[in-house]
Structure 1
């Protein structure tokens, strides 16, 4: 076979696979649809193929990663060796991480054939949306920081699978606005974040230095529901998704992803279908506009933030245009 023939054959592979997947899927739905029986391996293979093609179409120059959390069993071996410090690596954090991971247990995330996920931002845009019932139907619902649920169920629902947070954004009693089995996922931006969690878990003396805002000194999170997000996700959100430098130049203000855009990237890795709501900020020129569906904070509070909100808005628009995410409500 000539080199030209070989190249032609390789180009036909995706087309052949598409038709195989299509006819296998039709066979599956005709034979098993509504029967409760498990799908055939070929259907799973085709599903995985479609997901891989969808992931590759994003051109993020990275592999899809569905293991979200740091684990004690592989922590000191090869999977999480790092040359970077927090927030983009674990170098220098090993002592605190060892103690934290020793008292948090493993957890298997939902293993549906197709995992549908809703990432619920805290933005004002979700107010009066009446999306609550729809949000509760997703397999996985990801929420952010201390955003309340009680009193806002009609718009934001009340199901929470994962809640991403850091010490300054922690609510002292997670049980108020979360389900009993909600996973509280710490996003460690700095060494003090892990130290805070260690002191909470072991009931040690709290050290208050190192935070831009005092975190809860009493935190009622349950050890069995706590996870630590792998810094891999924040690093790739910054470097690949947002294209911001991991090491700012001297005298340059550091820029980090928001927990919102991080949650979207986590969902793109873990979920098969990603829908979002409550994202977006008002125009910077309108400093009096509210930014959350709760509370009284306005755009003025974001003036000196360590985030590039314009860049994040562009990336979300690009992901929407590519079909990677779908908004559940109108947005600007």
Structure 2
């Protein structure tokens, strides 16, 4: 059998009574997990594993948080008081309009019925190149890809399965023929303009101007409305303020307080999956000539200091997840 050991950092001491009680209850969890998972054969999904590991590091972590917005999204108190990217304030009407058209708000009946889900988030890092992880990646129940990272031609390293592709207007695939035939298109909105863009895509209307975007965006998304989702912005909020510790800036987008899309996707998976793995994460700035992405010839030195992200703080958070056994890093880049 396998023994899982939990570590509680010294920072977790000096908490209020409720938190202390919670920590005391966690002391008994390693033994519970030993019996719960000890007899599982290698590779078998471990129900509730991610949540158990997360609460050992973040005692206030609470799993219930819907993956996508549904028509009852206004009941989600954590997002209605923040404007984008951390919430939906000022965007309620346009979201209602979009959701009336998409009609579906989950992963789909087949995946929803799986009682234990293994998920993997594929980053776009050059570290994926020549690792031959494709067949291993395709064994996961849910395979999440980001922005326009291609699959065709790179299957040996990145697999061929795509459950969903999370993106925003400037990151979306621009050539319709490059879209997978059967994945969910998931918008992670960072600004009000992103919802307007999605409404045009859902209703197949013409985009007349690029004003309000920081670079060119897709003019068409070759997906039926029922294959389009809106990611719950709570994951952006939680990643930024609770996990990474970025400045709140009164709940507005500001310098260095937006998490990367990869970390947002991981945060989503922590709430929705029983086991979480990642691949293609981590930039090694000590090797300036290493490939930046697995699919192009740009090198590490092409990275400029980001105005919106705090890469070093984000790295600390992701390393904590890997070290604590919350997520598994297949490419060992974090």
Please give the TM-score of this superposition, normalised by the length of structure 1. 0.80
For 1:48-105, what per-residue CA distance to the aligned partner results, in whole angstroms no more than 9, with x for missing partners? 4x65432311216331135211112x13456576111100011111222122111112
Residues 148 and 52 of structure 1, relative CA distance in 2, 3 Å threshold: closer
Distance 1:256 1:12 in 2: 34
The reply on whether 1:119 has 2:99 as its aligned counterpart is no
Gaps of 5+ in 1: 1-6, 34-43
CA, structure 1 residues 158+174, in 2 after alignment: closer, same or farther (shift >3 Å)?
farther
Q: Quote how far apart the aligned CAs of 1:178 are.
A: 2.3
Q: Which residue in the other structure is 2:234 paired with?
A: 232
Identify the residue that residue 245 of structure 1 maps to in structure 2: 247
Deviation, 1:106, is 1.6
Unaligned runs of 5+ in 2: 1-19
Question: Could you tell me which residue of structure 1 aligns to residue 85 of structure 2?
Answer: 87
- Please give the alpha-carbon distance, in whole angstroms, between the structure 2 residues aligned to 1:271 and 1:233: 14
Rg (Cα) greater in structure: 1
Instruction: State the aligned residue count.
Output: 304
Q: 2:325 aligns with which of 310, 323, 326?
A: 323
Distance 1:244 1:283 in 2: 22
Of stretches 54-63 and 225-234 in structure 1, the one that deviates more from structure 2 is 54-63
Q: Answer whether contact 2:50 2:275 (CA < 8 A) is retained.
A: no
* Matches of 2:214 and 2:83, distance apart in 1: 19
Corresponding residue of 2:180:
178
- 8 A contact 2:51–2:274 mirrored in 1: no
Distance change in 2, residues 1:218/1:57 (3 Å): same
Task: Kindly indicate whether the alpha-carbon contact (under 8 Å) linking 1:184 and 1:226 is maintained by their aligned counterparts in 2.
Answer: yes
Show the counterpart of 1:38: none
Give, in angstroms, the shift of residue 112 of structure 1: 2.3
Q: Residues of 1 paired with 2:247 and 2:297: CA distance?
A: 32
Aligned to 1:153, which of 152, 155, 178?
155
Q: Which residue of 1 aligns with 2:9?
A: none
Checking the alignment, whether the CA contact within 8 Å between 1:274 and 1:326 is kept in structure 2 is yes
Question: Could you tell me how far apart the structure 2 residues matched to 1:13 and 1:310 are?
Answer: 30
SS of the residue aligned with 2:102?
coil
Change in CA separation of 1:301 and 1:143 when aligned onto 2, cut-off 3 Å:
same
Provide TM-score, normalisation by structure 2. Answer: 0.80
TM-aligned CA distance change 1:248 to 1:177, over 3 Å: same
Indicate how the Cα distance of structure 1 residues 22 and 246 shifts in structure 2: closer, same or farther if over 3 A, else same.
same
Residues 1:97 and 1:318: Cα distance change in structure 2 (over 3 Å): same
> Which region of structure 1 is more displaced relative to structure 2, 205-214 or 157-166?
205-214
- Which residue does the alignment assign to 2:53? 54
Write the deviation string for residues 222-273 of structure 1: whole angstroms up to 9, x where unpaired. 21111001110100010111110131799x7243111111111111111111
Conserved? CA contact 1:206–1:217, under 8 Å: no
Kept in 1, the 8 Å contact 2:83–2:251? The answer is no
Cα distance in structure 1, aligned partners of 2:36 and 2:271: 27
Query: For the residues of structure 1 that align with 2:181 and 2:276, how far apart are their CA atoms?
Result: 21
Report if the CA contact (8 A) 1:277-1:327 is conserved: yes
* Match in the other structure for 2:193: 192
Other-structure match for 2:292: 291
- Closer, same or farther: CA 209–254 of 1 in aligned 2, 3 Å: farther
Aligned-partner SS, 2:312:
helix
